[in-house]
Amino acid sequence: MKHFLLITLLIAIKSLAFANTNNLIADTPAHGSVLLDTDGQPINAHGPGVMYHQGVYYLFGEIKNGKTWLVPGQNWEDYRVPAGGISCYSSTDLKHWKYRGIALKPVVNDPGNDLDTGRVIERPKVIYNEHTKKFVMWMHIDKNDYNYSRGGVAISDSPAGPYQYLGSIKPNDQMLRDMTLYKDDDGKAYLIYSSEDNNTMHVCLLNDDYLKPTTTYVRIFENQRRESPAVFKNKGKYYLITSGCSGWSPNAASYAVADNIMGPWIEQGNPCKGPYAEMTFFSQGAFVLPVISKPGKFIFMGDVWNKTDLEKSAYLWLPLSISNGEIEIKER
């Protein structure tokens, strides 16, 4: 009980510090922290993506709930936790995040269903389609052995959901694992994902309603084994940050720059600087969030995975600066 009171007190102090910060980003102590929503509850939104719509930021992420277990018979550390669906939080100042509920519900006891809690539902990203007036969510759908490797798609009439699941696909019959989604200024949207057994990444143009991949795609970072893509644009140039491929364990990030999202992408090296830069400060990137009120300002959103207790995974959100076309991410 004493412990419980102490933890509650610490959370309360942390939440006050969070509320009072003048920064746009939470006061993240070294190497990640739990972030609290406006009810004081830990934010459960891993592998996140953020959509800005009509003055509001909507944060979507994986709900990780329950006991972590190790999938037997794999030659890698295949730690899993029940897939709890996709959560949504909203904020107007990037400091206070209000819980908006489960945007995409999982299903239980239906192993054949993509959204069964026994599946992998990861890295959700949402964009808005101006023509269909639908919010479109893409995510990585898999089975525990990661051989299903598909992109799942869901739609909603309102940003926070609920989203209706439409099904999953292998774009151009290619594997899709870690992924992100990018909507460009001209309204075209792209899926960017680890493919070919994580060896090579693909950038694939979506069709006009954003619900299907087109046959237009390119292969990038051939045989480089990159994952966790996070893409953004600044002053007409595209930037793509990726991690290496070491499961839940941290590794060095790398970024590439391009004049055209379909490439060529020119590798620039590690955007992280300072102590533990080669471990991305013990995180793995998931998204780069443009701060709408401050053009040229971005937030690098990383996950600090706790692989043996995945629901305890934390977050590391850091300012990302660009100077002379070069990215710099430092842990404060």
Residues forming contacts to ligand GAL in the complex (CB under 6 A) are: 47, 122-123, 178, 227-228, 247-248, 284
Q: Rank residues 52 and 248 by Cβ distance to ligand GAL and give the closer one.
A: 248
Task: Report in angstroms how near the CB of residue 155 gets to ligand GAL at its nearest.
Answer: 23
Q: Rank residues 297 and 307 by Cβ distance to ligand GAL and give the closer one.
A: 307
- DSSP output for 81-130: --EEEEEEEEESSSS--EEEEEEE--BSS-TTSTTBTTSEEEEEEEEEET
Task: Report in angstroms how near the CB of residue 120 gets to ligand GAL at its nearest.
Answer: 7
Residue type, 29: P
Helix (H) or strand (E) holding 321: strand 314-323
- DSSP output for 39-88: TSPBP--EEEEEEEETTEEEEEEEEE-S--EEPTT-SS--EE--EEEEEE
Q: Rank residues 137 and 211 by Cβ distance to ligand GAL and give the closer one.
A: 137
d(CA 30, CA 331): 7
Task: Report in angstroms how near the CB of residue 167 gets to ligand GAL at its nearest.
Answer: 20
d(CA 241, CA 328): 11
Helix (H) or strand (E) holding 233: strand 227-234
**C-alpha 110 chain-centroid distance:** 26
Task: Report in angstroms how near the CB of residue 310 gets to ligand GAL at its nearest.
Answer: 9
Q: Rank residues 90 and 254 by Cβ distance to ligand GAL and give the closer one.
A: 254
Helix (H) or strand (E) holding 239: strand 237-243
Q: Rank residues 100 and 123 by Cβ distance to ligand GAL and give the closer one.
A: 123
Q: Rank residues 129 and 284 by Cβ distance to ligand GAL and give the closer one.
A: 284
Task: Report in angstroms how near the CB of residue 130 gets to ligand GAL at its nearest.
Answer: 30
Is 227 within 8 Å of 249 (Cβ atoms)? no
Task: Report in angstroms how near the CB of residue 5 gets to ligand GAL at its nearest.
Answer: 35
Position closest to ligand GAL via CB: 247
Task: Report in angstroms how near the CB of residue 138 gets to ligand GAL at its nearest.
Answer: 14
d(CA 107, CA 84): 9
Q: Rank residues 194 and 234 by Cβ distance to ligand GAL and give the closer one.
A: 194
Is 85 within 8 Å of 121 (Cβ atoms)? yes
